[in-house]
Amino acid sequence: MNPPLDSLRPHWFVACTAAEVRARPLARTILGVPIVLFRSAGKIAALIDRCPHRNAALSQGRVTGDLIECPYHGWSFDGGGACRRIPGMVGACEHPHQTAETAHAIEREGLVWVCVGKSETAPETLPVSRHVALGDARFDTFLWAATARCALVDGIENLLDACHPHFAHAGLVRRTQKRRTVDVTVRRDADGVEAIYHENARPDGLIPRLLEGQRLTSVGRFFLPATAQLEYTGADGPRFLLTSMFTPCDERTVLIHSCISTPRKLAPAWLKKTILRAIFGRVLRQDQDVLRRQQENIDRFGGPKFTSTPLDVMRPHILYFLSHPDRATRTDHAATLQMEL
Ligand code: FES
Ligand SMILES: [Fe+2]
């Protein structure tokens, strides 16, 4: 069973890029909670997207100065949710019931993180930035946002799953005709889990042939609350690093904000970004398609009924972390296995 979305409320999730919060209110749904984002007094603000007066959607209003104005009767709220203006009202307008509910919002490294846990509950600290190539001059890094129609765990599993590329991305990422036996090491500690695939071969998919030479390892990692990472290394270090931060919008929709890094080479960053967007865009569409179809079929049967093998390396650990939110209760784990990749 997937963990209920409500259990994730104490966590921070990426709502959007900082650049997306401009002059207009921006609507998002996180863990089933509709919110509106805007800038107030130079800072990112997040309110529950429901005007306390007659519950119109604040995201359909507009931003005036530091306030967000409701489209129905024009009540205006600051970033803390306080009502600062009620058109037609004579005298002060402040009253507890006129306050819009807030969500926690923080801007970091070009992303806006939101926690929809109750205001009185202190949110856990912001997740550690896991993308080591951010700000590293040896790498070109760009950010990419996408959505997928799937449950959170299914989306994360898809990104970290080593067995679907032969089929879902046949020829682009892997070729099924040329499998080799690979040793896999799985390590879990209190902070995350990683699966290291000791490939020691030149990959034969079209994309890795473009990006890499001899590949030593491919590594998949997962960190709470919903960060998945792929790293392909050669003799000289990482050749490709992808860190995807998943945000569950509802039970069947995820937002995915990804940092993609490749070593800086002769090609200018803009050209590389254009090429990478084109080729990974194709892979992304294949994954979006397979996930949407998976979800539609699960819904056709009224819910999931999965069976797994040891090849499904990451899912048990993803579920383990989601069901052990308290770090002190988590135990280490190590295993090795072989598979044909
Ligand atoms: S519903 Fe928002 S001001 Fe009336
Ligand atoms: Fe995929």
Using CA atoms, how far apart are residues 289 and 158, in angstroms rounded to an integer?
12
Rounded distance from Cα 12 to ligand 1 centre (Å): 29
**CATH level 3 topology of 5-115:** Rieske Iron-sulfur Protein (2.102.10)
Q: Can you give the residue ranges of every domain in the chain? A: 5-115, 139-340
Is this structure's pTM higher than 0.85? yes
- pLDDT tens track for 293-305: 999 999 999 999 9
Indicate the top mutation candidate among 70, 76, 77 to test ligand 1's pocket, ranked by most ligand atoms within 8 A of CB.
Answer: 70
**pLDDT (0 to 100) of residue 330:** 96
**pLDDT (0 to 100) of residue 121:** 62
| Atom from ligand 1 closest to the CA of residue 74 | 3
- pLDDT tens track for 96-133: 788 999 999 999 999 999 999 876 665 668 888 899 88
Per-residue DSSP letter, 20: G
**pLDDT (0 to 100) of residue 29:** 98
- pLDDT tens track for 152-187: 999 999 999 999 999 999 888 887 677 899 999 999
The DSSP string of 27-94 is EEEETTEEEEEEEETTEEEEEESS-TTT---GGGSEEETTEEE-TTT--EE-TT--EEE-TT--S---
- pLDDT tens track for 33-91: 999 999 999 899 999 999 999 999 999 999 999 999 999 999 999 999 999 999 999 88
Using CA atoms, how far apart are residues 304 and 295, in angstroms rounded to an integer?
9
| Atom from ligand 1 closest to the CA of residue 58 | 2
Assign domain 139-340 to its CATH superfamily: Naphthalene 1,2-dioxygenase Alpha Subunit; Chain A, domain 1 (3.90.380.10)
**pLDDT (0 to 100) of residue 96:** 74
Strands (E), 126-180: 139-148
Q: From the CA atom positions of the chain, what is the Rg in Å?
A: 22
